[in-house]
Chains A and B, each alone.
Chain A
Amino acid sequence: MFGLETVSGPVGASMLIGVVLLEALVLYVGYGALEQWVGPTITRALKGE
């Protein structure tokens, strides 16, 4: 995936961990925005309002 299947060694490992870290940060920001956007609606629905 992303052409990183065969990477190894310190540089390859850094790239791989960097991809995981980047994905984590993107997901944190993305889901955070999604939570702000649809969160109140879902919370109200769960509260039965």
Chain B
Amino acid sequence: MEVLGVAVSLLAMFAGFGVLIGLLFGFFGMGGSFLVTPALLVMNYKPDVAVASGLAFVFGTSVIATLKHRDLGQVDYKLGVLMIAGTTGGIEVGKMGLHWLQSMGLADTVVSVAYVALLGGIGVFITYNAVKDDGGGGMSHDVEDDGEIDADDIPDIAKTIQSYRIPPMMKLRGGVRVSLWMILVVAFATGLLSGLLGVGGGFIRMPALFYLIGVPVPVAVGTDLFEIVFSGGIGSFLYAMDGAVDLTIVVPLLAGSALGARLGAAATSLVDEDDIKVYFGVMLLLGAIAVAVRKIGGAIDMPVLDVVALVIILGAALLVSGAVVVSSVRELRTESAPSVHPSD
């Protein structure tokens, strides 16, 4: 059976995959192309089609997730625009660095090692802080009712960065005050890594917004998604000029992810991050292992390792999205349970 010339089974598979990705994307503000492009490559789509369709899908999903986060008051447009400006400059310099490495014949090795080290390093950092749980470095989705972030929830590095009071100072959502120049430096650094590694950068930018600038996690996620609308839109437009975007992939994926992104974004206001942050760090670590396995498979010409890498990534994604759903339901049930006081 076919719809618009495409097998229904294929549409259903992409839609189901989309729900999974959307849930992670809406909750963490990352994970789109990280999951889609490798999956499409393993399904024997051409590399340019896999990358282009992944980007177009990320663009559509980020539009939906940003709108949902905007409804929840979790997008800081001022910070987003500054991040776009700094990131764009960083990407250009990163691309120059990549071309220089290519001319030296070192690009593939350096990029592969740096990518795995960065992904794994961020994973270890977040997991360590989550397990340590000293209140000064963990990621918390909680925002105070008055919209101000609790000083104890601001990571130490962010406190140091906020202490550099170089004018003009910017007031951000969550009551955070930080120098414009510090924001641009952080944005430039994340853009530099994106340009050098050739990745979207959500997994770098979202933790950077929280750990370096100190905005609450929901605002970090919402603002990161706002930025991805522009980077994804421009990227997919450039690829679409060469006719590489395949709508039979993008349309059903987006239909599924729109539902998942809505659930994921809603879960950011519901879930106690303490239940989830370890899984997030573990997902990054497993992602680093998967990328390393794929790179080794390419180096020794063993395509089966591509499939192993995909299984690791999908397994990690299923584990984390399952944890988000379970924690959300548990939180809902806790909220509805009648509170019992000792005096009663």
Residues of A within 8 A of B (CB): 1-2, 4-10, 12-14, 16-17, 19-21, 23-25, 27-28, 31-32, 35, 43, 46-49
Would A24 and B63 count as touching, CB distance under 8 A?
yes
- Chain B: which residue is nearest A35 at the CB level? B262
Q: Are the CB atoms of B60 and A2 closer together than 8 Å? A: no
Stretch at the interface among B34-42, B110-118, B330-338: B330-338
Q: A10-B241, A17-B240, A35-B262 are in contact. Are A28 and B247 (CB under 8 A)?
A: no
What are 26 A-B interface contacts by the 8 Å CB criterion? Answer: A1-B4, A1-B6, A1-B251, A6-B243, A8-B242, A10-B241, A12-B243, A13-B237, A13-B238, A13-B241, A13-B245, A14-B237, A16-B247, A20-B56, A20-B57, A20-B250, A21-B59, A23-B60, A23-B254, A24-B59, A24-B61, A27-B254, A28-B67, A47-B333, A47-B335, A49-B336
When distances are taken between beta carbons in the complex, the residues of chain A under 8 Å from B336 are 47-49
> Do the beta carbons of A27 and B258 come within 8 Å of each other?
yes
In the assembly, what is the distance between CA of A1 and CA of B248, in Å? Answer: 6
Cα A49 to Cα B335 with chains together (Å): 12
Interface core residue of B243, B248, B336 (most chain A CB under 10 Å): B243
- CA separation between A12 and B240, bound complex, in Å? 7
Give Cα distance in the complex from A27 to B250, angstroms: 13
Question: Which residue, A21, A23, A32, has most C-beta atoms of chain B within 10 A?
Answer: A23
Interface size class of B (residues with CB under 8 A): 35 or more
CA distance A4 to B251 in the complex (A): 12
Residue of B nearest to A43 (CB): B332
What CA separation (Å) do A26 and B247 show in the bound complex? 16
A8-B57 Cα distance, complex, nearest whole Å: 18
Q: Is the interface of A mostly helix, strand, loop or mixed?
A: helix
B262 touches A31 (CB 8 A): yes
For the complex, is B291 an interface residue (Cβ under 8 Å from A)? no
> Which residues of A sit under 8 angstroms from B237, Cβ to Cβ?
13-14, 17
Chain B 243-269, CB-CB to A under 8 Å as 1, else 0, gives: 101011011001100110010000000
B233 at the interface (CB under 8 A from A): yes
| Central interface residue in A1, A19, A32, A46, by most chain B CB within 10 Å | A1
Give the residues in chain A near B335, CB-CB below 8 Å: 47
The reply on B5 being an interface residue by CB < 8 A is yes
Which residues of B sit under 8 angstroms from A24, Cβ to Cβ?
Answer: 59-61, 63-64, 254, 258
> Is B254 touching A1 in the complex (CB atoms < 8 A)?
no
Is the CB–CB distance between A27 and B64 below 8 Å? yes
Within 8 A of A (CB), among B19-69: 56-57, 59-61, 63-64, 67-68
Chain B residue contacts of A8, Cβ below 8 A: 240-243
* Additional A-B contact list (11), CB under 8 Å, known A9-B241, A46-B333: A1-B248, A4-B247, A5-B247, A13-B241, A17-B233, A19-B247, A20-B254, A28-B68, A28-B258, A31-B262, A43-B332
Given the complex, which residues of A lie within 8 Å of B243, measured CB to CB?
Answer: 6-8, 12
Over the window 313-339 of chain B, the binary record of Cβ atoms lying under 8 Å from chain A Cβ atoms (1 yes, 0 no) is 000000000000000010011011000
